[in-house]
Structure 1
Amino acid sequence: MEEDLAEYIRFLTIERGLSKNTIESYMRDIKIYLIFLKKNQLTTWDTIDRYAILSFLQQLKEEQKSAGSIIRMVSSLRQFHQFLRQEKIATVDPMTHIDTPKKAQTLPKVLSIKEVENLIETPDTSNTLGIRDRAILEVMYATGLRVSELTELKLDDLHLSLGLIQTIGKGEKERILPLGNLAVQWTETYLNHSRNRLERPNQRSKYVFLNHHGRKLTRQGVWKNLKIIVKKAGIEKQVTPHTLRHSFATHLLENGADLRTVQELLGHSDISTTQIYTHISTHRMSMVYKTYHPRA
């Protein structure tokens, strides 16, 4: 079974060309599944039936896994078993009659424009890391980059004289994004005054944002630094790197941008994914109305 998983990972990498993060997510899910199968002495694919799958999903519920995690697991198993069936590794697909659980739609958290400005202006720009953090926040809010896209940003991806950057998103799709004047200015300040201090002379890096060891800043590093900045800014909301992406999209729509443009900027393959932000805008409009209209 481990060998079949390895074959599936090769298929996702070579034939489907999925991103490293997506493949790691599939692999984590299926490894949890294989542990369950081994524990229940299900050692061949054709011994697995619908009831084994339902038992596994029930175990995840009992472990208090979130609805989102269980939905993702069902999707992972569905695609994995389809692969096993197509490659004739298995003769049956136990996922055929398994329904995907419904997830209650929750609107992503967004910051107000004032909160974003407060957050961005919090890093102490009198020091090397403060300048770097200010540049990171400016770039994230100016472009709506995913945190993985930010950490993978290379020097060759910057076209600051044109006010543009290029990035590779999900599904290896490239997109070119405009940078606002402030983001360009702070990126240039970082490159001219901070990055050369962070980079080690004997350890040149092609990546834009570096940690204090001179290596590429990781996703975990961005999360950790942001948590500290949010606390310093006195923002009570739970803020993640994705919150800036959500805020970027919401503020664009609230100020009149059309949905198709926002879809392109975010790198969504399906416009239905982008439409969640129209719901946020409507929700926020309703909240503002109830707060400020004298007869609401």
Structure 2
Amino acid sequence: MMAAERGAAKNTLDAYRRDLDDVAMRLSVRDRTWLTAQTPDLEACLAEMAREGLAPATTARRLSAVRRLFRFLLAEGERADDPARSMAGPKRGRPLPKIMSEAEVDALFAAAEALEGNRGIRTRALLEILYAGGLRVSELVALPLDAVARAGGTLHVTGKGGRERLVPLTPPALEAIRDWLRVREESLPKGRPSRLAKAKAFLFPSSSADSGHLTREQFARILKELARAAALDPAKVSPHVLRHAFATHLLANGADLRSVQALLGHADISTTQIYTHVLEERLKALVETAHPLAKR
């Protein structure tokens, strides 16, 4: 159902499977299954997770998967009740997203500019698209070759749940893409017709990946190397941190929340609102350190 009706990505399906397998194992110790478990059984599982020291976010995610499964079983007539309906999840604070300053992003771009050859051209195109469009890394690496051509000046992105959106690109990003397209053919796999046919469909093909395109892991390594060249802490630089930086920098420079929601591809604006908290924290810190009255 999650795959066919909700269009969930493979990573999402894998996460649900792991969470449900863990709870199913805990229920089996109590001689319970998904069809026989009751609310006390599920509460005992959550209590066990807490004793084991699982993070509240992990426990909450597993409870969310369990709730969805029981709603499915109820809708399909496999159960006459939903034992998870009244259960409360663990209290947890929502962590603020990690971001980079505009100066740190500039340093990253300067390091990319210093790279030579086709590798440097590809890195600059990847970085420009990621920061100019705020894409998820899974969206970036799997961009089809015609993602730009289908709408000049914008990028056609297919995100979570198969939702599509158009992302406007900056002139430097468009120029970086044009530069990459001039040398892209040289990166296509040689001597393997089946792999070549698959790779031709992607903006960033890969000769080593079975998918035919650059993988998330490969791009993460590229970004870490770039961070080291820029004298930044590689542990604090990732594709998702750049996505956070994209959203935060837009809001800091006057963009409205609804526009940022659309650009990020968030289904619910509450997901986007976390970035306003980042700005609030920065403004609060600014007042506390820079305002004359704060020094009295």
Task: Please tell me the TM-score bracket, short chain as reference.
Answer: 0.7 to 0.9
Match of 1:210 among 194, 205, 213: 205
Task: Tell me how far 1:168 sits from its aligned partner.
Answer: 0.9
Aligned partner of 1:227 in structure 2 is: 224
Find out whether 1:98 has 2:95 as its counterpart.
Answer: no
Give me the whole-angstrom Cα distance separating, in 1, the residues matched to 2:117 and 2:30.
Answer: 56
Matches within 5 A, 1:57-76: 57-76=46-65
The structure 1 residue matched to 2:27, chosen from 37, 52, 58, is 37
Q: Distance in 2 between matches of 1:212 and 1:233?
A: 28
- Assess, with a 3 A threshold, how the Cα gap between structure 1 residues 65 and 192 changes in structure 2: closer, same or farther: farther
- How much has 1:226 moved relative to structure 2? 1.8
Give 1:64 deviation, angstroms: 3.2
Tell me, in whole angstroms, the C-alpha distance in 1 between the residues paired with 2:224 and 2:40. 43
Which position in structure 1 is the counterpart of 2:284? Answer: 286
Q: Report deviation, 1:39.
A: 3.9
Normalised by the length of structure 2, the TM-score is 0.87
**Structure 1 residues 235-254: aligned runs within 5 Å:** 235-236=232-233, 238-254=236-252
Structure 2 unmatched runs, 5+: none
C-alpha deviation, 1:294, in angstroms? 4.1
Q: 1:162 to 1:57 in 2, by over 3 A?
A: same
The aligned amino acid for 2:240 is H
Determine helix, strand or coil for the equivalent of 2:189: coil
RMSD: 2.1
Deviation at 1:79, TM superposition (A): 0.6
For residues 3-39 of structure 1, what are the alpha-carbon distances to aligned partners after superposition, in whole Å with 9 as ceiling and x for unaligned? Answer: xxxxxxxx22223333333223222211222232334
The aligned residue for residue 269 of structure 1 is 267
- Tell me what 2:117 maps to: 127
- One-letter amino acid matched to 1:270: D
In structure 2, do the counterparts of structure 1 residues 22 and 281 end up closer, same or farther at CA, with 3 Å as the change threshold? same
* Closer, same or farther: CA 58–221 of 1 in aligned 2, 3 Å: farther
Tell me: CA distance 1:137–1:160, structure 2 relative to 1, closer, same or farther (3 Å): farther
Preserved CA contact (<8 Å) 1:158 1:164:
yes
1:82-161 correspondence to structure 2 within 5 Å: 82-123=71-112, 124-159=114-149
CA distance, structure 1, for counterparts of residue 103 and residue 71 of structure 2: 48
Shift >4 Å, 4+ stretches = none
Deviations 1:94-115 (A, max 9, x none): 2122112222022111111110
Give SS of 1:35's match.
helix
Partner SS state of residue 159, structure 1:
coil
C-alpha displacement of 1:268: 1.3
Change (3 A) 1:249 1:52: same
Q: CA deviation at 1:255?
A: 0.7
Question: Is 2:186 aligned against 1:189?
Answer: no
Percent sequence identity is 38
- Cα displacement (A) at 1:259: 1.2
Matched, 1:260 2:258: yes
Partner of 1:80: 69
Displacement of 1:295 in angstroms is 4.1
Change over 3 Å in CA distance of 1:161–1:77 after alignment to 2: closer
SS at match of 1:177: strand
> Does residue 44 of structure 2 align to residue 49 of structure 1?
no
Q: 2-side partners of 1:62 and 1:140: how far apart?
A: 40
Match of 2:189 among 200, 206, 222: 200
CA distance in 2, matches of 1:285, 1:159: 41
- Give the CA deviation at 1:167: 0.6
Secondary structure of 2:166's counterpart equals strand
Name which of structure 1's ranges 11-20 and 257-266 shifts more when overlaid on structure 2: 11-20
Tell me, yes or no, if the aligned pair for 1:165 and 1:179 is still in contact at 8 Å.
yes
